[in-house]
A = this chain, B = another copy of it.
Amino acid sequence: MDKRPWEANIRKVVPYVPGEQPAGDRLVKLNTNENPYGPAPGVRKALREMDAGGFRKYPDPAANALTAALAARYGVGQDQVFVGVGSDDVLGMAFLTFFNGEKPVLFPDITYSFYPVWAELFGIPFKTCELDSSLRIRKGDYGQPNGGIIFPNPNAPTGLLMGLDEVEEILGRNQDVVVIVDEAYIDFGGQSAIPLVSRYENLLVVQTFSKSRSMAGMRIGYAIGHRDLIRALNDVKYSYNSYTMNMPSIILGAEAVKDEAYFQETLGRIVATREKTKGWMRELGFDFPDSQANFLLVSHGQAKAEWLFEQLKKEQIYVRYFKTPRLDNRLRITIGTDEEMEILRKALEKLLQFADVYAG
């Protein structure tokens, strides 16, 4: 078909493809790294008490209740906190705000697959740095000339954690650009770089409510950094959409931050289940990096990942399969409840009996 004239000015993009969101009560959903436990009790209470009458008014454009709760929790100034519609909005806005140089932005070749998508969307030059053979970030790569740096810690989908000393080493060598540490999974076993923001004005730490705080459905992410970085982010935000956070996300988000005991308890359960899962995965012959996140990236010598992925789906068990170089024989499996992991274990045991026959 001929191209219509009005199509000439349309932006060309290759969008990120999110994980499936299959519906149904009986399925075991281990494909999008959601938290198997519900949000904090205070969130339920605040939801019950919410007044729909208030929806007629615009929400607070600065989302003060939410940024105040985060500032208190992390011991920073309220002007050091930026919030957005999930960490995707925060990261996308950060790409648009901070990565406007001529030199390429650096990030790992195997990482959150949205990074190259944002770079393409906004016309930002970038260069990927290859992970080593054990899928670790080679911090030496981040000494080359660049227009900015971003990496997740722990990295996704490997789950591998970098120590804070290594993060600081990268920061130390890159004080002339903005360095973003994407800590979506840090609460499951790592040390956050947030304490470093008082010493490095060019450090932006991004976290999310979608994993450890069990609020994926509310879409809340945040960045913590020097107040000048946060001001720059807010300037760009106010140039795009004055009110990104709706009333429920501000009210319920603040509640989710306040219940530290519940937060620590559910984190502890997920970490315990993860370690238990590592044990039986090894016994079944699976190979995986030693993840400190709420997922494992597994492969098996006798069964192809894509085959396992399809077979598990038939059993109503959803895991994530990426058909991309170096990942196309691995599965990313979210840590669910002990019960869910037990259903997975039984399904995998059964499948592996047939693996030699079918997955040659």
B147 touches A235 (CB 8 A): no
CB of A353 within 8 Å of the partner chain: no
User: In whole angstroms, how far apart are the Cα atoms of A29 and B54 in the complex?
Assistant: 13
Stretch of A71-79, A92-100, A127-135, A160-168 with 4 or more beta carbons under 8 angstroms from chain B: A92-100
A10 touches B219 (CB 8 A): no
User: In whole angstroms, how far apart are the Cα atoms of A251 and B100 in the complex?
Assistant: 38
Partner of A232 from the list B10, B35, B243, B246 (CB cut-off 8 Å) is B10
Shortest A255–chain B CB gap in Å is 10
CB of A175 within 8 Å of the partner chain: yes
| Chain B residues with CB under 8 A of A15 | 234-239
Stretch of A58-66, A191-199, A300-308, A340-348 with 4 or more beta carbons under 8 angstroms from chain B: A58-66
Within 8 A of B (CB), among A193-213: 201-202, 210
| Chain B residues with CB under 8 A of A97 | 10-11
Partner of A249 from the list B120, B201, B246 (CB cut-off 8 Å) is B246
CB of A215 within 8 Å of the partner chain: yes
Shortest A216–chain B CB gap in Å is 4
| Chain B residues with CB under 8 A of A13 | 235-236, 239
User: In whole angstroms, how far apart are the Cα atoms of A300 and B249 in the complex?
Assistant: 42
User: In whole angstroms, how far apart are the Cα atoms of A246 and B85 in the complex?
Assistant: 8
CB of A55 within 8 Å of the partner chain: yes
Shortest A355–chain B CB gap in Å is 31
User: In whole angstroms, how far apart are the Cα atoms of A39 and B56 in the complex?
Assistant: 6
| Chain B residues with CB under 8 A of A312 | none
Partner of A117 from the list B52, B61, B118, B239 (CB cut-off 8 Å) is B239
Most B Cβ at <10 Å: residue of A47, A56, A57, A216: A56
Residues of chain A whose beta carbon lies under 8 Å from any beta carbon of chain B = 4-11, 13-19, 21, 29, 32, 34-39, 43-44, 47-48, 50, 52-61, 85-86, 88-89, 92, 96-101, 117-118, 120-121, 147-148, 175-178, 201-202, 210, 214-219, 228, 232, 234-249, 252
Give me 14 other A-B pairs in contact (C-beta within 8 A), A47-B52, A218-B248 excluded: A9-B100, A9-B178, A13-B235, A34-B57, A39-B55, A43-B55, A55-B218, A56-B215, A58-B210, A59-B219, A88-B243, A89-B244, A92-B240, A118-B239
